[in-house]
Amino acid sequence: MNPLQRLHEAGQSIWVDFLRRTFLTSGELSRLTREDAVSGITSNPTIFRRAVAESVDYEQPIQQLVEHGSRDPREIFYQMALADIRAAAEVLRPVYVQTKGHDGFVSFELEPRLAHDTPGSVSVARHLAEHIDKPNVMIKVPGTSEGILAVEELTAAGVNVNITLLFSVATYEDVAEAYLAGLEHRLAAGQELERVASVASFFVSRVDSAIDGLLPEGSPLRGQVAIANAKQAYQRFLTVFSGARWDRLARAGARVQRPLWASTGTKNPAYSDVRYVEELIGPSTVNTMPLSTLDAFRDHGCVRPLTVLADLDEAEAVFLLLREHGIDLEDVAAGLLADGLAGFAADMEELLAAIAAKVKPARLRGQNTPTNLGVLAPTVAKRLDDAARNETASRIWSRDHTVWKPDATEISDRLGWLGLPETMPERTGELQAFVRQVRADGFTQALLLGMGGSSLAPEVYRRVLGVAPGGVDLTILDSTHPRAIAAVERSRDLEHTLVVVSSKSGGTVETLCHCDYFFAKTGRGEQFVAITDPGSPLEALARRRGFRAVFLNPPDVGGRYSALSVFGLLPAALIGADVAAILEAGAEMACACDRYVAGSENPGLWLGALMGEAARAGRDKLTLILAADLAPFGAWAEQLVAESTGKEGTGIVPVVDEELGGVGSYGPDRLFVALGDVDGLSDLAAAGHPVARLRVSGPERLGAEFFRWEFATAVAGHVLGVNPFDQPNVAEAKKAALHILKERRLDDDPGLDDLNGPLGSLGRGDYVALLAYIDPTPANTDRLQRIRLAIRDRKHVATTLGFGPRYLHSTGQLHKGGPDSGLFIQVVDETCELDLPIPGRPFSFGELLAAQVLGDQLALRRLGRRVARTTLRALEEATL
């Protein structure tokens, strides 16, 4: 018996806080009722909006309704949603019958516009109940004063009610009173009571989210108030539904109005992901869980009977301490109710807008629109069939490490990215408050020091979204070239520059050297902020030097999967981006990639299957063709794909920023993937090259693309049989460079190479990686790009370009662990006129860069890779 079944045995009903069409048609809800004792389901405008926005669940139903004359988005919504409600009610009907009407309910929410309209709520709720015509459907009514009056009337009319958005024990008492009064009216009218059911949805985690923000850091009250509040509500439940008044109703067949614990997904990653289930177990209660919480509890939940009745004295003490802090819980509850209503109202408007957009024929198409997959089509289709049979998507969402490897090492503790769209909204207020204070203190510029996963997502946000009015202008430094550092320093007004030091491990040598350099220039800890994992050396350094703030990221998120974590979102907040919208786009894509969305309708699963099968078929050069406004996204995707898949002698070679050429420029090792609206691919598709197009609404959908590609890359790792979350070869070049510095072996320079031999060795399926250890100026970049195209067009091989040492934290893993098909050409300065000392270090930036050149060359040669070293001028002479 799994923990969910044990929870059911303990007297608590398990409902799922989720509803969409494929959840029903895939059989997932039926499976959950059989295997996990799920006995109910709830829905709301947010859930429906996400399903409509990015997934293809409702594109065909919308098309069909339009063909039958429907045009109004609200009318279309109700027709689709009520069809889902009826279907879900049918799935749960056996539970309803077996429990004699105690369980098996589906909840449908009234529109937020009715929240303060008692007559309107009663009228619409009665109409919906009659129209749906299922005995196991509840109508959700918000816990406003007008909604509570509606509860009494609806109960008297025999309508099942789920009264929602409850945060206050006092409000809950009013709700229970309204239910009792409604039953009494019904009894007085001689009507039966037995088939009337109701739940009171007490929202839990949102209380902690609100209260924690009012408490000082480190307060023992953080994370304690929500559970204490729910326990007090349960005590009131026991009191209200006992005694003479209740006994009279019970004898007539009345059912108690069960407390329902809602919002039980853990928002704060510092708390257990099952705490709002484990601590509120008791008879005659319901816990409605998001699927992520359901998975977590099935995996490691602990069932201790009657925890809702435990430690009641401690719960009372929590409220005494809360009052001592001057926090009025009733005021907080009123604010949460207003925020909840406003959020649902906004979601409803966005839902209607999404439907309106899909009504237009031009928008009635799938998430993925492959132009021509050619010979890959059968293998991709088979892979998707295998994924359905093996429940690959479901296992990924359940965080099952065996999707990739039997050993959980560096997998089980690297899957936190799956939940970021749901957990990170908890921190948006914190990030925005920080930015407001930074601006108020006179900072107009920001400098981010980071490498790889710490710098690439911020660079995408900055270059794609720009700086909004009132935002802070952000520059990213991820080069150790002395001229690059000096140029950044010259361009900054250091006195008004906030320095963001970003490193997951907290030990990234380049980042720490940058930090030491700029800290020596300012000497002011209040100008610095750190982003890192808990307990890292950077956290200790930041606290020792008195940094303005230290932002700790969830430790179960790998660097290259951190775009939707603090590593990406704090820089995004600094430039004035709408962080909430970024996360919501990510949540919509996560919804589209969910476990029960099969085959080509699952954008992440489909793309990952395509990438992996293409590589297995010899088309391992994933060539990204990006719309102009999304071009900077390529460098981030390059690291994600290369570092995740390039190991164990296999891998995908991402090719980005390579100007589109004619059919004759390419060998048979290419897969072309276009992101956004781009031209020039028709001839390639006609020539037999597999071409796929991904629909992107615009730059504002960055959050969706970050998640899509993360999920796809995880799937591609599964297809290739590798762990996409480790980086076993990355440390090789780093160790070699540090050894060279320690031993002062910089004079062991092997000199420059003649390029004729290496270039002449290129054959079918090879690629050329230009590894530039020169100043990454636009002029140098343009020169290197011209060289790339010349090599491609002459040799018909793929080319990549990376500046060192940045690429060591990106494609470096692929170079050493991936297929032995690369020619690695290091491009170095002819002379070094400028160097910069690093305070407190026995080496300079110039020496660090030189050691990194030699260290990477040594690591590549030890692995038998083809390596050549030259200057930019000599490379031009050999290729142009």
Q: What residue has token string 């669940």?
A: 57
Q: Which of 100, 134, 140, 521 is catalytic?
A: 140
C-beta atoms surrounding 760 within 10 Å: 9
Tokens in use for 106? 């589906």
* CA distance between the termini of the chain: 69
What is d(CA 222, CA 498) in angstroms, rounded to the nearest whole number? 29
Kind plus residue range of the DSSP H or E element containing 391: none
Quote the CA–CA distance of 85 and 105 in Å, as a whole number: 10
Look-up of token digits 């002698």: 649
- Nearest alpha carbon to residue 180 among 229, 245, 267, 134: 245
CB 839 within 8 A of CB 516: yes
* Full 3-state SS string of 188-226: HCCCCCCCCCEEEEEECHHHHHHHHCCCCCCCCCCCCHH
474 has which bridge partners?
Answer: 446
What's the token pair of residue 25? Answer: 């048609």
Provide the 8-state DSSP code for 728: T
d(CA 818, CA 815): 6
Identity of residue 314: E
User: Does residue 134 have an active-site annotation?
Assistant: no
Q: Distance between CA atoms of 87 and 109, rounded to whole angstroms? A: 16
**Tokens (6 digits) for 286:** 């319901």
Q: Is 126 exposed, middle or buried (0-12, 13-18, 19+ CB in 10 A)?
A: middle
- C-alpha to C-alpha distances, 86 to 79, 80, 163, 874, nearest whole angstrom: 11, 10, 20, 72
Q: How many residues does the chain have?
A: 880
CA distance 135 to 129: 9
Half-sphere exposure (CA, 13 Å, Cβ side) for 528?
26
560 CA to centre of own chain: 12
Residues 6+ apart with CB under 8 A from 400: none
What six digits make up the tokens of 30?
A: 């039926």
CB 295 within 8 A of CB 20: no
User: Which residues contact residue 210 at a Cβ distance below 8 angstroms, ignoring those fewer than 6 apart?
Assistant: 332, 335, 336
Helix axes 778-795, 872-879, angle to 10 degrees: 30
Count Cβ atoms below 10 Å from residue 658 Cβ, excluding itself. Answer: 20
- Cα distances (angstroms) measured from residue 180 to each of 202, 255, 835: 18, 10, 80
Token duo for residue 395: 């296992």
Q: Which residues have CB under 8 Å from 500's CB, separation 6+?
A: 446, 447, 448, 449, 450, 528, 529, 530, 531, 570, 571, 574
Q: Name the nearest CA neighbour of 706 among 596, 551, 620, 579.
A: 579
Which residue, among 407, 396, 453, has the nearest Cα to 730 in the 3D structure?
453
| 8 Å CB contact between 256 and 238 | no
φ/ψ region of 63 (left if φ > 0, alpha if ψ in -120 to 50, else beta) reads: alpha
Q: What Å distances lie between residue 707 and 69, 466, 822, CA to CA?
A: 36, 21, 29
Distance CA 593, CA 710 (A): 11
Active site residues: 140
